Each structure stands twice: as structure tokens, then as C-alpha cells.
Amino acid sequence: MILRSLRWRLAIATALMIAAVVAASGVFSSLTVKRELNRRLVTQRHDEAKAAAAMVRDADAAGLRDALARVHARFGTRAVVMNERGEVVMRVPEQLAEYRIDRRPDGTLHLTRRDGGKFESLIVRGVAIPVRGAGTVYFLPSATAREDREFMLAIDRRLVWGLAAAALLAVLVMVTIFRRVFAPVDALTAGARALASGKLDARVDVRGRDEIAELANAFNAMAEGLERNERARRNMVSDVAHELRTPLTNIRAQIEAAQDGVVVADARFLSSIEEDTALLARLVDDLQQLSLAEAGQLRLELAEIEVGEVIERAMSGLDVRGLAVTRDVAPGLVVRADVRRLVQVLRNLIVNAVAHAETSIRIEGRPSPWPSPRERGEGTVEIRVIDDGPGVPPEHVPRIFDRFYRADASRSRTTGGAGLGLAIAKELVELHGGTIRYQKPAFIVSLPNG
């Protein structure tokens, strides 16, 4: 179970890396120190051996012991003098008497002794210097050789303690870093779990500007989006219920009145029922069309068509209530679009203008000199629907293309429908690769010109 945790896997991997680095550093440091120390000792021993040999060569048989004593006192070098038969005739210092010394045919000396019940045996190759009238002098390793070994062991011990302290410090730093790194990760995990449990207001604190902070910002943005979408979903359900309730209530009330004999089921009665039913059907059709458009499942039958012709189709059969309608469309202005869908877009905009205009409506079509980023690299056509009404209040402009959103808080049907027309227009325009926006006093549709 521990190895399934990213925290523990990283901790184990980091600990192994620290151990590998400490081990490699220790081995390298120990080898380097020992190599340099041995090199210095070898050089020193070589110089001492040369000096000792010079001091012994100048001595005669009578002064040999004094010369060896001076060598031992100066360099700590021990010496054994053997005659031609291999017998020891002199030892400097006298402590060498503890050893039994034999010379082997290959020139090496074999030293053996018992020390506290333990048997010690040494094989050394001493430096042999013949001395006239006295025999051959063999220089043995000095007594400091054991001290050198102990010094090497002391170095190893100090390296081990130093590396252990370094490893402990590295572990402490690793733990500190892990706590700082995984604390926000734990907070993100808790936030994600709260979000999954339905607490859409869950947020995490953002500290710093590193990658974890960016992840926290992304999480908060996602949570805000989910909360906003949930709020929009609830509002949409409420709006749909509101829009359906009125015609259904009317139909039910009229049927009950007819059943109770309050009203007569004549042609006028049936016409009223038909009007409410048509309203329900139109609302359902709008919702289905908007859903398909948002899902990108509406099929477009694209063709090149003149903008003037599209505007005429949109105006056909439309009751403008005696308003003055002006058309100003550049001749030969062509767009590539689904004619039926584009007519629907313009008709929605014109109906909206008719509902709010006071005396006149103006429809313009012209090439746009400023293509949007989505349309950059190709020309665009702008179609403007302008009315002389009061316009959309600035506080409502950002939301006028939302589903069921209407600036009329009373939701009076005399000033508009269910609040789906502009939302549908926006989706249809974007399916064509264009944009739609409101810039007082006009709704502006920008489309690629083919």
C-alpha cells in the first residue's frame, strides 16, 4: 500500500539517491585521501631509506650499532644485521628480540612471535645493505606503520561520521521540501473530494507562483466554472418550467372551463387552445435546436448567396408595425452560409428590433476591413441590424446571448419571446465560423465572405 503512494515512492527514490551519493562520496573521498597519504608516505619512506642507507654505508663494524641507533632515533626505522649464515647478530631496537627472524631463500624476512597467547607472523622484504666486517643490514618497516594504519582507520571513521551527518541533513531538507510540496497537493486533494461530494463552493488557497500554484489556480477556475454551470443549469430548469407553466396553465384552465360549461368550445375557444399549443411547440423546437447547435450536431448546407437576398428573405411576411425600414447593402456582397439558418439569425434580430424600435429600423451589409482573430487571413462581411429604440442597458449587454436571459425583468411577452432567440442566433453564427455582438445601437453579425 505504501508503494502506491506517490509521496512514499518519491521519498524512497530520493533516499536511495541520497544513499548512493553519500556512498559514492565516501568511497571517493576515502580512496583519494588514502592515495595521497600513501604517496606522501612512500616518498617520505624512500627519502628516509636513502638517508639511512647513506648513514650506514659510512659506518664500520665497530660503529654500526651507533649508526643504526641514530637512524632509528631519527627516522624510526628498525634494522636487523645478519651474518653470511643467516644468523641475527644485531637488532635495533632491542624490542625486535621478541621476534624470531628467519631469512628465506627469496631474500624476504619471516618474523614470528607470540603475544598474549596469540601468534603473530610477518613477512617483510627489507632493504639489504652489506657492511664490511659486520654482515648485511636489513631495514624493516618502522613502528609507525601500525600508526599509519590506525590513522587511515581514523580517517575512515571521520568520513563515515561526516557523511552520516550530511545524509541526515539531506534527509531533513528532503522532508522539509516534501512537506512544502505536498501540503498544497493535499489541499487540492481535499478540495477535489469536496467538489466531488457536491460542494461546488470548495476552493484552495493559492500561495506562490510555481507550478503547484498554477494547478491551484486552475482548480479554482474549474470549481468556479462548475459552480457557474450548475447555477446556470438550475436557472435554465427554472426558466423552462416558467416558460412552460403559462401556456399549460392557460390550456388547463380553458379545458376545465369548457368541461364545467363556463365557456363554449367554439372556434374562438379552439383558436386560443391552438395558440397556446403552438407556443409550447415553438419553445420545444427552440430548445432542441439550441441543444443541437451547442453540441455541433446541426448540419449546414453551405452555399454562396448574396447578403441582400438573405435580408429580403428574413423580412418576407414580417409585420413591422408601420416602422420605417431602410436597407443599405453593398451590391454583389456574397457570403458562404446555410441560407435557411442565416435567414433564421437575421429574422430573430429583426424581430427583436421591431419589438424595441420607436420609428425606424436600418439594416446594413458591408465588407469589414477588420477581420476578427478567428477570421484573420480572409475577408469578412458585416451585417448590422439597427433600431432607434432605447437599446440594451450596459449592465445587460454581457448576458443578452445567454439562454432564457431577458432584460425585461417582468418577462412580459409583449417585449419578446422566451429569451432563446439571441442564444440560438449566437450558436448558428459561430457554427458558420463567424461572430455576433452588440454595439449600441446595433447587433453586428460578422461572417467569412466565402
pLDDT of residue 378: 55
**Model confidence at 307: pLDDT above 90:** yes
Pairing of strands 109-115, 118-124: antiparallel
* pLDDT score of 57: 75
Per residue in 113-141, pLDDT (tens digit) is: 876 667 777 777 766 777 777 788 887 76
Q: What is the pLDDT of residues 150-203, one digit of tens each?
A: 767 777 777 778 778 877 888 887 777 777 777 777 788 888 888 888 888 888
Q: Say how far apart CA 266 and CA 272 lie, in whole Å.
A: 10
pTM of the entire structure? 0.49
At 117 the pLDDT is 65
- pLDDT of 416 over the 60 cut: no
Beta bridge partners of 382: 366, 446
Give the separation between CA 61 and CA 68, rounded to whole angstroms. Answer: 11
Q: What cell numbers appear for 140 in the block?
A: 624493516
Residue 384 pairs with which residues in a beta bridge? 364, 444
Residue 112 has pLDDT above 90, yes or no: no
Cell numbers for 243: 416558460
Q: What angle do CA 289, 284, 294 make, to 5 degrees?
A: 25
Cell of 293: 447547435
pLDDT at 437: 94
Residue 450: per-residue pLDDT:
62
CA distances from 193 to 58, 69, 180, 215, 275 (A): 94, 87, 21, 16, 50
Residue with cell 541526515: 168
Interacting residues of 52 by C-beta distance below 8 A, sequence separation 6+:
71, 75, 77, 139
Q: How confident is the model at residue 415 (pLDDT cuts 50, 70, 90)?
A: very low
Q: Name which of 57-66, 69-78, 133-142, 414-423 the model is least confident about.
A: 414-423
**Strand-pair category, 442-448 with 435-439:** antiparallel
Helices (H), 366-420: none
